[in-house]
């Protein structure tokens, strides 16, 4: 019976999220019937009715337990997410093929969510907040914006249990020796390949590997060591790279080294026995959230130099250094291009991203005594009673909600906005790309990561970044400022703060408009100080105007619905919908004494 209860809960949760995101992305329309009652009418003749609060983002915060399905004059509790997508298929304009694949992703997501629900049974938000970051990530729900965020097409139940983040099962890598001339690689001068090996292998394990290398006549002067995920090896590498394996250009050395724990991103792994050791990011050719989780080869040569350059910016820039902004540097990258697919123009991108690795600094290596690190995604995680980790941290800090948020915004949003305005650097800073460093349960600073496709440059004259590595300029996207600003608007405000502000409204009765008023005050204070030090920054702030009245609505779920699941040469690109009123602009339109009265909801109302 408990399993059936769990099944209903995870279905209701995904259904509520899907309704909310599809209405937000304007793929569906919800009509308000009373103060907090809304209805989505579908062409199939079915309608879904629910209680919700319309947030400042034109996004519905839906009470999942109130969703009812109306059909043929009858109504019943809606707890079947698959049936919802079948009912809405015509409205969503999706083909039968797309719907079938979507239902596949949905089934996998629901199964993973069931595991998480069982895992969190009896675990309070306070319990979770005390866990080490690496262990806590195995409790997290994942991206809130993606309707089906654990699709993992390509995996079955056995792989979910063995390699899924929620299972918290450790994994040991297989190691290959790859002939140097076959690779595209780059590494920091401080991290030679032998030292990278020692980050994953004990001295005894290194010796055992050396013995295997001698038996197979492998010399590290001619070869480079490369870890590979055991599933990736079994299902892709040993077949797709059979030519190189039979020639001896790629040699399987065997299973070696420490045990690693998959993080919430699925393909990034932390060292279980040595938390300060480098994280390892490996390609997994499974379709998850929006794309196949490979590793593009074009960033391998420039990754270490680029992340070192950004760290140097943080060290020499007063606004960043005083805030302690840091970079989880990618110290090495290695990619093995496929000999045939690289010759085919327009071949599916997943075939070009199958074999490689990135080594990245761990957050633990950046923390001093009295500090702890926490993935920003963890703030939103709730226990079975609805209490969130962010509410727990605020409570334990002894600070007011407003003061706690001031620390958060000064440590996270200000550095992101400064990098954008001063250097024309856009970072897609979603909640899995930001690691918070806490002292006494308040946010002290932020660690930034993931520059492989999530760092872009604004076009224009930015002499402050004139020393950027030339290898990075060759591969980084450069777009007009009005596009790059969405790395902050959409990548952070919509993707992170939208959910955080609504959670604090729901749980702590903290008005959304007050939330963005605090953010506006922190950003205005930063702007004032920046212009006082450098008057030219006033022009930059006009170029990157975060206080403009309207922003574009960027939609990710509609991309999958419209593009379907056919193989493509490039990763999916988001669709732009109708404009949104900017909450920062709204927060400055109301008198201070009115802000606390707007968009407030008590925890019992939703």
- pLDDT tens digit string along 449-491? 988 778 999 999 999 999 999 999 999 999 999 999 999 999 9
pLDDT band at 605 (very low <50, low <70, confident <90, very high): very low
Location of structure tokens 């991206």: 143
In this prediction, residues 286-309 reach a mean pLDDT of 90
Instruction: Considering the chain, tell me which residue range(s) the CATH 1.10.510.40 domain(s) occupy.
Output: 372-595
Q: Which of 360, 306, 333 is nearest to 224 (CA)?
A: 333
Question: Where does residue 450 fall: left (phi above 0), alpha (psi -120 to 50 degrees), or beta otherwise?
Answer: left
Question: Where does residue 509 fall: left (phi above 0), alpha (psi -120 to 50 degrees), or beta otherwise?
Answer: left
Contact yes or no for 224/146 (Cβ under 8 A): no
pLDDT at 572 over 70: yes
- pLDDT tens digit string along 351-402? 999 999 999 999 999 999 999 999 999 999 999 999 999 999 999 999 999 9
- pLDDT tens digit string along 395-437? 999 999 999 999 999 999 999 999 999 999 999 999 999 999 9
Instruction: Considering the chain, tell me which residue range(s) the CATH 3.30.310.280 domain(s) occupy.
Output: 2-139
Q: Which of 189, 477, 398, 427 is nearest to 325 (CA)?
A: 427
pTM here is 0.95
pLDDT at 164 over 90: yes
**Strand ranges inside 125-237, DSSP E:** 174-179, 184-187, 223-228
31 token code pair: 């009509």
Topology (CATH level 3) of domain 372-595: Transferase(Phosphotransferase); domain 1 (1.10.510)
Q: What is the mean pLDDT of the chain?
A: 94
Please report the pLDDT score of residue 312 as a whole number.
96
pLDDT band at 591 (very low <50, low <70, confident <90, very high): low
- pLDDT tens digit string along 60-94? 999 999 999 999 999 999 999 999 999 999 999 99
Chain centroid, CA 11 distance in Å: 23
Q: How many CB atoms within 10 Å of residue 485?
A: 24
pLDDT band at 573 (very low <50, low <70, confident <90, very high): confident
- pLDDT tens digit string along 188-202? 989 999 999 999 999
Going 493 to 263 to 102 to 5, the CA torsion angle's sign is negative
Please report the pLDDT score of residue 371 as a whole number.
97
pLDDT at 348 over 80: yes
Please report the pLDDT score of residue 454 as a whole number.
85
Percent of the chain at pLDDT exceeding 70: 97
First to last CA, the chain: 27
- pLDDT tens digit string along 520-568? 999 999 999 999 999 999 999 999 999 999 999 999 999 889 888 878 8
Q: Are strands 330-335 and 68-71 parallel, antiparallel or unpaired?
A: unpaired
pLDDT band at 148 (very low <50, low <70, confident <90, very high): very high
Among the listed ranges 272-276, 360-364, 587-591, which one has the minimum average pLDDT value? 587-591
Topology (CATH level 3) of domain 2-139: TATA-Binding Protein (3.30.310)
């Amino acid at each position: 019976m408990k399993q059936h209860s769990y099944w209903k809960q995870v279905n209701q949760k995904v259904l509520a999220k899907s309704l909310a995101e599809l209405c937000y992305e304007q793929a569906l329309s919800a009509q308000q019937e009373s103060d907090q009652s809304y209805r989505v009418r579908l062409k199939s003749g079915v309608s879904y009715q629910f209680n919700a609060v319309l947030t400042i983002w034109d996004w519905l915060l839906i009470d999942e337990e109130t969703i009812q399905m109306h059909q043929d004059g009858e109504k019943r509790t809606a707890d079947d997410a698959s049936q919802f997508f079948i009912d809405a298929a015509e409205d969503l304009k999706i083909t039968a093929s797309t719907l079938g694949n979507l239902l596949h992703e949905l089934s996998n997501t629901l199964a993973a969510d069931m595991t998480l629900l069982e895992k969190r049974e009896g675990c309070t938000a306070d319990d979770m907040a005390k866990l080490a970051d690496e262990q806590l990530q195995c409790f997290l729900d994942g991206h809130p914006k993606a309707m089906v965020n654990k699709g993992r097409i390509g995996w079955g139940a056995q792989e979910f249990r063995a390699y899924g983040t929620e299972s918290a099962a450790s994994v040991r890598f297989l190691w290959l020796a790859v002939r140097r001339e076959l690779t595209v690689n780059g590494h920091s001068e401080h991290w030679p390949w032998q030292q990278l090996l020692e980050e994953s292998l004990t001295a005894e394990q290194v010796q055992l590997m050396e013995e295997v290398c001698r038996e197979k006549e492998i010399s590290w002067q001619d070869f480079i060591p490369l870890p590979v995920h055991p599933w990736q090896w079994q299902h892709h590498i040993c077949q797709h790279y059979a030519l190189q394996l039979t020639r001896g250009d790629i040699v399987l050395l065997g299973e070696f080294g420490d045990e690693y724990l998959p993080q919430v991103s699925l393909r990034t792994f932390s060292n279980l026995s040595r938390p300060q050791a480098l994280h390892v990011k490996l390609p997994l050719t499974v379709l998850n959230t929006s794309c196949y989780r490979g590793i593009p080869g074009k960033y391998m040569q420039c990754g270490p130099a680029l992340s070192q350059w950004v760290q140097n910016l943080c060290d020499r820039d007063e606004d960043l250094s005083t805030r302690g902004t840091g970079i989880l540097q990618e110290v090495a990258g290695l990619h093995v291009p496929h000999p045939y697919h690289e010759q085919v123009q327009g071949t599916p991108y997943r075939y070009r991203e199958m074999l490689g690795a990135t080594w990245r600094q761990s957050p633990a290596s950046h923390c001093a005594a009295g500090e702890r690190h926490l993935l920003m995604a963890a703030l939103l995680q709730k226990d079975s009673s609805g209490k969130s980790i962010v509410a727990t941290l605020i409570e334990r800090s002894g600070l007011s909600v407003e003061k706690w948020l001031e620390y958060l915004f000064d440590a996270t949003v200000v550095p992101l906005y400064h990098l954008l305005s001063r250097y024309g650097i856009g970072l897609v800073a979603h909640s899995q790309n930001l690691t918070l460093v806490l002292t006494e349960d308040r946010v002290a600073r932020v660690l930034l990561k993931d520059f492989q496709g999530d760092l872009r440059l604004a076009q224009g004259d930015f002499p402050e970044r004139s020393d950027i590595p030339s290898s990075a300029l060759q591969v980084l996207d450069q777009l007009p400022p009005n596009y790059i600003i969405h790395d902050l608007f959409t990548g952070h405000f919509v993707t992170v703060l939208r959910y955080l502000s609504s959670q604090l409204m729901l749980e702590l009765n903290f008005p959304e408009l007050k939330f963005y008023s605090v953010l506006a005050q922190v950003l205005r204070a930063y702007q004032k100080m920046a212009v006082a030090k450098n008057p030219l920054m006033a022009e930059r702030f006009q170029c990157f105007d975060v206080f403009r009245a309207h922003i574009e609505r960027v939609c990710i779920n509609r991309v999958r619905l419209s593009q379907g699941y056919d193989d493509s040469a490039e990763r999916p690109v988001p669709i732009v919908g109708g404009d949104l009123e900017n909450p920062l602009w709204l927060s400055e339109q109301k008198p201070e004494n009115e802000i606390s009265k707007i968009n407030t909801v008590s925890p019992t109302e939703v």
